[in-house]
Amino acid sequence: MRPWEYNIRKVVPYTPGEQPKEAGVIKLNTNENPYPPSPGVVEKKENLEQLRLYSDPTAGELVRALAGYHGLDEDQVFVGVGSDDVLAMSFLTFFNSDKPILFPDITYSFYDVWADLFRIPYETRPLDTSFELNPSDYEAGNGGVIFPNPNAPTGLAAGLDVVRDVLEHNRDVIVIIDEAYIDFGGESALTLLQDYENLLVVRTFSKSRSLAGLRIGYAMGSTRLIKALNDVKYSYNSYTMNTPSIVLGVESVKDEAYFRDTIARVVRTREWFEQELTRLGFSYPRSSANFVFATHESVPAKEIFEAAKKEKIYVRYFDKPRIDNYLRITIGTDEDMRTLVSFLGKII
């Protein structure tokens, strides 16, 4: 190493799913929504002249829209550049203990990356053999707790009783519930906000709102937590949200009917797809998300993954302990899924 390299922050970065550039791909590898965003978003004519000005550092319009939508006060909502930004900011803000933060062994693979980046000690707690989270693994003596609900990449939702149990045993640290997929199933922890000042619920526009490319995420919690997040944000970059994202994000929130309809379509396709998987000899934890985490009784996941890719069908494969015989398959359009099912029928 060169002497100056000793002072470089060394991290092993998160690897996002592939964004293939070739045409004619069936893309079921990064949990995007197969349907376009609300027509209100698509048709909105932006006044590009206003890009001359800095964006609103408070992203006030969007914060107000979200607070109104969820029946919260404006000072209970924090927005950021995708929930990845909100989560990273939350790690930096809330996880400053010498004790390890806790999260499941099988979970969103960005958590350990942020922990390493920010030098936060962490420990994982194994999910049981059915990928269920056991709340007694998360009892006191830690520096904070985070898990997604529904979990990623399993798609399995924990009941509100489990979330409440974790909160009951963690009154003195921050508990973050990452609800990236909650619109597709499961019970939201939002109803617990009034009981737990230390609870932060994080959501995204990337999946259920078909706006992955706009990069909008948000957190909801007590005014104390939101103030702490804002203090860190304003110590880092005041203008995280760009003007088009603020304006178009508001349009999405306005269109509840389209939002519900899109989600219902994805859920219907998921239910059909799960039946087809069963017929083909796959098993999977029952999904409450916009993807299914499936394993086959005889054909290795990696083989299916590679064969699918040759057919320009992209799904996600994680070469990691306990899950290296699983595929995470995003729910696409009915047509996408029929093509996939007929491919799977052939290879199996």
Binding interface with ligand PLP (CB under 6 A): 31, 82-84, 108, 148, 152, 178, 180, 204, 206, 212, 217
Residue type, 247: V
Distance of closest approach, residue 311 Cβ to ligand PLP, in angstroms: 25
How many other C-beta atoms are found inside a 10 Å radius of the C-beta of residue 305?
Answer: 20
Q: How far is the CB of 31 from ligand PLP (least distance, A)?
A: 6
Backbone angles phi, psi at 102, to 5 degrees: -120, 140
- The whole-angstrom separation of Cα 122 and Cα 95 is 10
CB nearer to ligand PLP: pick between 110 and 258 = 110
Q: How far apart are CA 348 and CA 341, in angstroms?
A: 10
* Minimum distance of ligand PLP from residue 241's CB (angstroms): 13
Token pair belonging to 346: 């052939």
In contact, 147 and 109? CB cutoff 8 Å: no
Q: Rounded to the nearest whole angstrom, what is the least distance from the CB of residue 163 to ligand PLP in the complex?
A: 15
158/344 with CB nearer ligand PLP: 158
At its nearest, how many Å lie between ligand PLP and the CB of residue 330? Answer: 11
Closest to ligand PLP by CB, 152 or 193: 152
Least distance in angstroms from the C-beta of 210 to ligand PLP: 12
| 233-77-257 Cα angle (round to 5) | 130
β strands within the chain, DSSP E: 26-27, 77-80, 101-104, 122-125, 145-148, 175-178, 199-204, 217-220, 282-283, 291-296, 313-314, 316-317, 327-330
* Kind plus residue range of the DSSP H or E element containing 214: none
Cα separation, 101 vs 234, whole angstroms? 25
**Minimal distance in Å, beta carbon 329 to ligand PLP?**
14
Nearer to ligand PLP, 141 or 213 (CB): 213
Q: What are phi and psi of 256, to 5 degrees?
A: -65, -40
User: How far apart (Å, rounded) are the C-alpha atoms in residues 150 and 141?
Assistant: 25
Which residue, judged by CB position, is nearest to ligand PLP in the bound state?
A: 82
Q: Give whichever of 331 and 344 is closer to ligand PLP, judged by the CB atom.
A: 331
Copy the structure tokens of residue 41.
């978003």
Pick the closer one to ligand PLP by CB: 103 or 258.
Answer: 103
Q: Given the complex with ligand PLP, which of 198 and 204 has the nearer CB atom?
A: 204
